[in-house]
Chains A and B, each alone.
Chain A
């Protein structure tokens, strides 16, 4: 616990409080195949000396958390005072990168998690009623979306929804609109990502529910049947309450999975229309300009949001646990 969880988090917290040293700039003349020009450039020796004296960088307190690329307190104040309508304020906030990512992440999580829960239950109920002969193959086929690596799965779908791909072309035919492109419009991209998320996660819920269904006491079900309960009533009043702890478990997993959504955004090349908290962290660490402090701050904020959102579910689990203890 200490080595693999506490220490990394502590190191990220420390990292988020520091920024790089001020760069010592010097003027130099650069010549290349095309021309010579005078530019200013960082002085590596002077910067190295600074780094030697304080390897962590410059202490910045919580300023990274509050700058424009994160919680943006100053910008929020400006937008609040300058916008006349509530809608103006919201669209101003949505223009800030952190809040934009947060908005998508939360929308994704709160749409995917319940859908996965409900769909998984119905698939499990359906498969449970199948004759023995086709049960095995059906279960295997239903698990496939979960087996595919998210990045590969999203890339496959990305090519399928292309205007020349099988899904994209079919949709154009159905809606009789040759310009319809799932990649071009922001709402359609969001829908595509959310459907992808449901497609990818439902097998998990299904397989857990299916295992749970095998343990539902048959005498209770038969008693309900004798009392004249319809199939729907048996599901609603016997199976669902019995499987509630499993549902809470799946919900917990789905909330955590949703809050760290990342691969589909890369796979669908969707970063122009939808970004998530994890994507921001990736973007800070990718390429030449590595913003360690910024990435660390976003990570801490992500952990904070995970804690806030999971608290109600955890409290509920805790209560259930205590009740059973008595």
Chain B
């Protein structure tokens, strides 16, 4: 017994000494504290950055789905609670509006040789974030079911409707289609995607005035309603957590999902081999004769808080550059669509790559876009439930947005 104790003590000590020997990444001292959303790809990046901890370098991380709630107050404090925030092109906007992020030009020049030019997010000529992964919604289909009805993989939403009708008519499934239509942020995102697919503009150029009450807006809503004919009547409660299990249990033939969900559809957990082997990612469909897929591109990246010392900023930057290193990509290749050169796209990344290659728009980085997104969420369910006309809904959206934008000071 005593012998075992001594052995384990020795093991601990060697472990500890090895730990400090590897720690550093060339950082002498400083505070690193990272706030991030909670999914596997971000865990991989932050854990890799954590390897730089040790000695005089303190490290803390917080992975939480409530990161958007925390980021404002946490970065407003001086010194900021977190030295870095993992952002997306959606969640970076309020931080920019409040001026809570540090320009990264000096740090990129000094320590960012390994970063690609396409990773640098510049706002008004200043680098404000470093992107490392991409995400987008795209179509996924069941090849065996399409073969049964003799249809190709749909490339437009009009074809999605035809194919869905064929599957229903053949008696295979009554509700073959699903998209992320839960009456929260998800439904708003589908409206944004479909409207951009129609080539719509959300605002009058150069102003914060919404302009969605037009023919493209009507077409957007009508298309969503037609699609929902082929989606289970519970569609207003469908988010990723609901659609992925439905797919895995073989109850869907076509679905519009996030690229980041593809990994769980293609792994060998929660489904049968017959479903998995026939699950094929496809491009996001176009709609209404448009050329761009009806989807928006998203990036995830890291940004550094403004209210911290230069020393902490430098330490955090070096650690996060280490977090997105070639080594990390090689170890976690299939967890995301990485933007780094070392990335080898696999099957789960095909959908997002196709959407990006087909020229989809990035989600608008406008400070008042969130308010319009919220107005979609509040008003579109009424239309999808058949309570009012598309024109009425669009008028309601503009009115709800205007009231909120006036309160936030974007409109007079």
Q: Which residues of A contact B (CB under 8 A)?
A: 19-23, 25-35, 39-42, 44-45, 47-48, 58, 60, 64, 67-69, 75, 95, 97, 162-163, 179, 181, 183-186, 269, 271-273, 283, 286-289, 291, 293-294
Contacts and interface: CB of A to CB of B under 8 A. Distances in A.
Nearest to A32: B121
Contacts of A35: 362
Task: Name which of A42, A44, A179 has the most chain B CB atoms within 10 A of its CB.
Answer: A42
5 closest A-B pairs by beta carbon, nearest first, are A44-B99, A184-B233, A272-B183, A272-B381, A28-B124
B233 A39 contact: no
Interface string B373-412: 0100010011001001000100010011011101111101
B324 interface: no
B404 A39 contact: no
B385 A41 contact: no
B91 interface: yes
B374 A287 contact: yes
Contacts of B362: 32, 34-35
Task: Name which of B118, B396, B402, B409 has the most chain A CB atoms within 10 A of its CB.
Answer: B409
B367 A41 contact: yes
Contacts of B356: 34
A291 B408 contact: yes
B234 to A, nearest CB: 5
Given A25-B208, A95-B392, A269-B183, A291 B382 contact: no
B236 A41 contact: no
Nearest to A18: B407
A19 B236 contact: no
A97 B134 CA distance: 36
B404 A69 contact: yes
Given A58-B409, A291-B407, A269 B236 contact: yes
B120 A31 contact: yes
Nearest to B245: A164
Contacts of A95: 382, 388, 392, 396
A29 B124 CA distance: 5
B56 interface: no
**Contact size range, B:** 35 or more
A39 B385 CA distance: 35
Interface in B222-246: 232-237
B99 A68 contact: no
B68 interface: yes
Nearest to B126: A28
Interface of B: 68-69, 89-91, 93-94, 96-99, 118-125, 131, 134, 174, 182-185, 206-208, 232-237, 297, 299, 339, 356, 362, 364-367, 370-371, 374, 378, 381-382, 385, 388, 392, 396, 399-400, 402-404, 406-410, 412
A60 B97 CA distance: 22
Contact of B366 (A39, A47, A48): A39
A23 B185 CA distance: 24
Nearest to B239: A269
A294 B381 CA distance: 22
Given A30-B122, A95-B396, A272-B381, 19 more contacts: A19-B407, A21-B409, A23-B97, A23-B410, A26-B124, A30-B123, A30-B124, A32-B89, A33-B299, A34-B297, A44-B97, A67-B406, A69-B404, A162-B234, A181-B233, A184-B236, A272-B236, A283-B378, A289-B404
Contact of B125 (A29, A32, A69): A29
A14 B98 CA distance: 23
Nearest to B234: A183
B68 A287 contact: yes
A42 B367 contact: yes
Nearest to A68: B403
B67 to A, nearest CB: 11
Contacts of B121: 30-33
Given A288-B91, A288-B94, A271 B123 contact: no
Contacts of B125: 28-29
A181 B299 CA distance: 37
A30 B97 CA distance: 14
A68 B232 CA distance: 33
B299 A32 contact: yes
A237 B144 CA distance: 72
Given A33-B134, A272-B183, A273-B385, A19 B396 contact: no
Given A181-B233, A269-B182, A272-B183, A33 B371 contact: no
9 contacts: A21-B409, A32-B299, A34-B299, A183-B236, A271-B183, A272-B381, A273-B381, A288-B91, A294-B404
Given A41-B97, A287-B374, A288-B370, A30 B404 contact: no
A9 to B, nearest CB: 21
Nearest to B123: A30
A135 to B, nearest CB: 41
Given A19-B406, A42-B367, A44-B96, A69 B400 contact: yes
Nearest to A70: B403
Contact of A289 (B98, B118, B371, B388): B371
A33 B131 contact: yes
A17 B382 CA distance: 30
